Chains A and B, each alone.
Chain A
Amino acid sequence: MNKIPETHYLNAKKGIWSWLTTVDHKRIGILYLFSVMFFFFVGGMFALMLRLELLTPTEMYIDSDTYNQMFTLHGAIMIFLFIIPAIPAILGNFVLPIMIGAKDVAFPRLNLLSWYIYIVGALFAVFSLVSGGADTGWTFYTPYSTTTSTAVISIVLGAFILGFSSIFTGLNFIVTVHKLRSPGMTWFKMPLFVWGMYATALIQVLATPVLGITLVLLIIERLIGIGIFDPAMGGDPVLFQHFFWFYSHPAVYIMILPGMAIISELITAHSHKKIFGYKAVAYSSLGIAFASFIVWGHHMFTSGQSELAAMIFSFLTFFVAIPSGVKVFNWVATLYKSSISFSTPMLYTLSFLFLFSIGGLTGIFLGALPVDIHLHDTYFIVAHFHYVMVGGTVIAFLGGLHHWWPKMWGRMYNETLGKISCLLIFVGFNMTFFTQFIMGSQGMPRRYHLYVDAYRPFHAFSTYGSWVMAAGFFLMAYYLIHSLFKGKPAGNNPWGALTHEWSITSPPPEHNFEEIPITEHGPYDYDKIVAKSTLVEN
């Protein structure tokens, strides 16, 4: 029988104060887990309310102003408070140091500070919510954002502050990966999750400051009217779009690269197979990180930029597609001659391959200039980024959460319920968003509270899908919380995986390792080593 060890990081120190002042990367990961999931719930509730309102073409229960504030908050909360921190700050914080055989991240106090900065930023967003909400959309386009009478400043300030949280997490990971790898952990023996986190950290550090200064300019413009984005004063509102997308396009990769990083771990651990093309996967992360900086103009094909600029951005955009495609092919090839276990994390991985392929391929439509002109700012775009962000990142995050859940808490969740919930989310998601591709290419514009009757069946079906998805999420919340108290002890290595975190107890001891481990084999040497699953032996 598996047993929970007597002392571990969760009970090494006691009391709420020991949590609020902790510098242990694992505990900080848990702090993030609860705060980020709280905002995921809030953002999700907004999504459900929006979908409900869209069930009918006319006003159902909220007016246009409320609708506009709701989709703004849904977007801003999901992006700045959920997706960006989700994987790096929760799972990255928890497993990255253990994976490379370190006792903590390089700057533990800075790590705690990041969490507090996150909370402060979140409070500003909440303040905006209670003081009437902003109605600009999460993109804050000028001149609308500088002229609307809603509470724009507090939410923009919130996003600005959250940026620092993101920068410090990235900085911490870069230094940790460079300087804290244990003996034998060479760059090419690092698990691909670490590679993905490293590439993400590079973008966080290089792109976020530009968003920071842009948001500061927006705030100053609103406060004292310096006229940078105001056409009446010699400014240019399109300049804001350039500044904004210079950050926010790379930010899309801050969101998806960690998802890809998780998939590389899950697909190997649950099929006990060496990853196909390790170096290709590792380098493609860096390639994507680099390419993400030079494609921002593809968000502005209809903004009236020159034909030359449009051509260059379209050309470059296609080159982001190649490394993403290579990754997908590598994952599929990894399954060849493997030994696949249909555990919940593996189901999420297979869902990811399905959904992310659609998300990625629809990106090609949007890179092609004339097609983009038709599809820009319609529900096709909405569907595309939900397929990438939810079908890609969130599905991978959920897979990772289930994968490392037994390591975090030492207990297993109910696998049957896990599979049912995964299935509900998969079906519900496709119902909700595949429909939106069709209505988008049929011309339904995004951010519409009221709509033309012709789109009604699509909207209705999409709303039904959102209920199926919600059922899956509530089921998941139930069995995960249940497992904290009643779950079976999982043992050190429930999946029979080979990376370092599975060689220590679950939950891990306070300082991870008694002795710094020496890395002898690669992270995916399933052709040489067999690690027994601690679940099977019961």
Chain B
Amino acid sequence: MDTTGTFWMPPGNSTIAGDVDSLFYFILYASIIIFVLVVGLSAYFSMKYRRRDGEVGKTDGLDHNVKLEIIWTIIPTILVMIVFVWGFKTYMYMNVVPKDAYEIKVNGQKWFWSFDYPEGGNSVNELIVPVDRPVKLLMASKDVIHSFFVPNFRIKMDVLPNRYSITWFEAHTIGEYNLFCTEFCGKGHSEMIGKVKVVSQEEFEQYAEDLAFSGEGMTLEEFGAKLYIQKACVTCHKIDGSNSTGPPWDNLYGKEEHLADGSSVKVDENYIRESILNPMAKITQGYQPVMPTYQGILKDKQIDALIAYIKSLQEDESLINE
């Protein structure tokens, strides 16, 4: 199995990659032969029959040759039929989800991926799967159409807002692979990039437990800091004062925030909670109304942890203790 990648194809790290690649290379080589024939003959004729200076005369009247025409219709027809049948067989195999597949719920929304595991855990932008085990993805979108693409697995499937779509794969090498959104979904489309992390079965069990973890043994602030990364808040909210898609979190708590509708609001626990669950309710001046809701993704305790974390980023003590 090819796991290093070639000039044309990235490494193939799923069970179907080999099949897809063989068909790809079959078409490639057949195409090269036809291409060389067409371009080679054109070049040869162009040289051989180029017009010499001053030469003006009648040319050959040859305008058909039934045998030749039949040949160049039949051979390509046979070739494309081979490609079709081969392609269809592989496609059917790719579409039948093995019965014992491990099912993960995928949710696409502007502009991140979130994954729900059967054990109750949830991860954002990082899909963790066990190696050598079929994984079924049950996918839905919260807003517009997205598309789930892992080049190294050769799978791609649109993620739709009104129905579930399904795809599956079985990764056979441990490693980290790119996950792209390939259906244009707006401003952050090119940043809707995640990772698929293929780990051993034992490690996976550890992860599954970890993801279902609700912060025991950590302070709320530490848990919040962990969630800030894990739930991809970091994509849009910086903590070094710089502007991004959303307002920065440092020195945010307790200050008066100016809203797009002209009013202003004090940043307190309730405001933060509302902004997480119903982001469209109050839009900060100078920012686009693009934040997705985290209703159903974050549990109460996790929201509390994030609030504690935001509080801890306020350097002005007087604003916290007010």
Give me 15 other A-B pairs in contact (C-beta within 8 A), A326-B72, A340-B45 excluded. Answer: A64-B187, A135-B187, A141-B145, A141-B184, A143-B144, A302-B156, A304-B157, A318-B80, A325-B76, A333-B65, A342-B50, A376-B156, A441-B24, A443-B10, A445-B180
Least CB distance, B234 to chain A, in whole angstroms: 16
Give Cα distance in the complex from A448 to B191, angstroms: 8
| A337 interface neighbour in B59, B72, B73, B188, Cβ under 8 Å | B59
**Contact between chains at A336 and B45 (CB < 8 Å):** yes
Within 8 A of A (CB), among B140-159: 143-145, 147, 149, 151-152, 154-158
> Which residue of chain A has its CB nearest to the CB of B68?
A333
Give Cα distance in the complex from A325 to B84, angstroms: 17
Complex contacts, A451 vs chain B, CB 8 Å: 190
Give Cα distance in the complex from A135 to B61, angstroms: 54
The 0/1 profile, CB within 8 Å of B marked 1, for residues 312-342 of chain A is 0011001101100110110011011111111
Q: Which residues of B line the A interface, CB within 8 A?
A: 5, 7-10, 16, 19-20, 23-24, 27-28, 31, 34-35, 38-39, 41-42, 45-46, 49-51, 54-65, 68-69, 72-73, 76-77, 80-81, 83-84, 86-88, 90-92, 94-95, 143-145, 147, 149, 151-152, 154-158, 160-163, 165, 178, 180-191, 193, 288
Least CB distance, B159 to chain A, in whole angstroms: 9
Contact flag A370-B16 (CB < 8 Å), given A64-B190, A314-B84:
yes
**Contact between chains at A530 and B56 (CB < 8 Å):** yes
Complex contacts, A339 vs chain B, CB 8 Å: 49, 51, 55, 57, 59
Contact flag A238-B77 (CB < 8 Å), given A336-B62, A367-B83, A370-B20:
no
Give Cα distance in the complex from A496 to B95, angstroms: 59
The 0/1 profile, CB within 8 Å of B marked 1, for residues 343-361 of chain A is 0000000100110011001
Complex contacts, A443 vs chain B, CB 8 Å: 10, 149, 151-152, 178, 180
**Contact between chains at B62 and A274 (CB < 8 Å):** yes
Give Cα distance in the complex from A373 to B147, angstroms: 11
> Which residue of chain B has its CB nearest to the CB of A238?
B160
Complex contacts, B84 vs chain A, CB 8 Å: 314-315, 318, 367-368
| A336 interface neighbour in B16, B49, B64, B161, Cβ under 8 Å | B49
Contact flag A377-B63 (CB < 8 Å), given A339-B55, A526-B58:
no
**Contact between chains at A322 and B80 (CB < 8 Å):** yes
Where chain B touches its partner, the secondary structure class is: mixed
Among the stretches A78-86, A275-283, A414-422, the one at the interface with B is A275-283
**Can you spell out 24 A-B residue pairs with CB atoms less than 8 angstroms apart?**
A64-B187, A64-B190, A141-B184, A236-B162, A276-B63, A302-B147, A302-B157, A325-B76, A326-B73, A338-B49, A339-B59, A340-B46, A353-B39, A364-B80, A367-B87, A370-B87, A370-B90, A373-B91, A374-B151, A377-B147, A378-B182, A445-B181, A530-B57, A536-B54
**Contact between chains at A441 and B9 (CB < 8 Å):** yes
Q: Is A446 on the interface with B (CB-CB < 8 A)?
A: yes
Complex contacts, A353 vs chain B, CB 8 Å: 38-39, 42
Complex contacts, A350 vs chain B, CB 8 Å: 42, 46
Complex contacts, B191 vs chain A, CB 8 Å: 64, 450
Q: Is A384 on the interface with B (CB-CB < 8 A)?
A: no
**Contact between chains at B149 and A307 (CB < 8 Å):** no
Give Cα distance in the complex from A504 to B80, angstroms: 46
Contact flag A144-B62 (CB < 8 Å), given A328-B38, A443-B149, A450-B191:
no
Complex contacts, A329 vs chain B, CB 8 Å: 38, 72
Give Cα distance in the complex from A329 to B73, angstroms: 9
Q: Is A48 on the interface with B (CB-CB < 8 A)?
A: no
Q: Is A435 on the interface with B (CB-CB < 8 A)?
A: no
**Contact between chains at A144 and B184 (CB < 8 Å):** yes
Complex contacts, A452 vs chain B, CB 8 Å: 178, 193
| B69 interface neighbour in A237, A277, A340, A450, Cβ under 8 Å | A277
> Which residue of chain B has its CB nearest to the CB of A443?
B151
Complex contacts, B187 vs chain A, CB 8 Å: 64-65, 68, 135
**Contact between chains at B10 and A303 (CB < 8 Å):** no
| B88 interface neighbour in A274, A311, A533, Cβ under 8 Å | A311
How many residues on the A side are at the interface (Cβ–Cβ under 8 A)? 91
**Contact between chains at A449 and B190 (CB < 8 Å):** yes
**Contact between chains at A135 and B49 (CB < 8 Å):** no
Least CB distance, A451 to chain B, in whole angstroms: 7
Least CB distance, A73 to chain B, in whole angstroms: 14
Give Cα distance in the complex from A364 to B27, angstroms: 7
Give Cα distance in the complex from A489 to B73, angstroms: 44
| A143 interface neighbour in B16, B54, B157, B161, Cβ under 8 Å | B161
Complex contacts, A374 vs chain B, CB 8 Å: 20, 24, 151, 154-156
> Which residue of chain B has its CB nearest to the CB of A231?
B162
Complex contacts, A528 vs chain B, CB 8 Å: 58, 61
Complex contacts, B55 vs chain A, CB 8 Å: 339
Complex contacts, A277 vs chain B, CB 8 Å: 63-64, 69
Q: Is A500 on the interface with B (CB-CB < 8 A)?
A: no
Least CB distance, A411 to chain B, in whole angstroms: 23
> Which residue of chain A has its CB nearest to the CB of B17?
A374
Within 8 A of B (CB), among A252-309: 271-278, 280, 302-304, 307
Give Cα distance in the complex from A529 to B42, angstroms: 25
Least CB distance, A177 to chain B, in whole angstroms: 23
Complex contacts, A307 vs chain B, CB 8 Å: 91-92, 95
**Contact between chains at B144 and A364 (CB < 8 Å):** no
Complex contacts, B77 vs chain A, CB 8 Å: 322
Q: Is A44 on the interface with B (CB-CB < 8 A)?
A: no
Complex contacts, A55 vs chain B, CB 8 Å: none
Complex contacts, B56 vs chain A, CB 8 Å: 496, 530, 532-533, 536
Complex contacts, B39 vs chain A, CB 8 Å: 353-354, 357
Contact flag A273-B60 (CB < 8 Å), given A148-B186, A339-B49, A376-B182:
yes
> Which residue of chain A has its CB nearest to the CB of B35?
A357
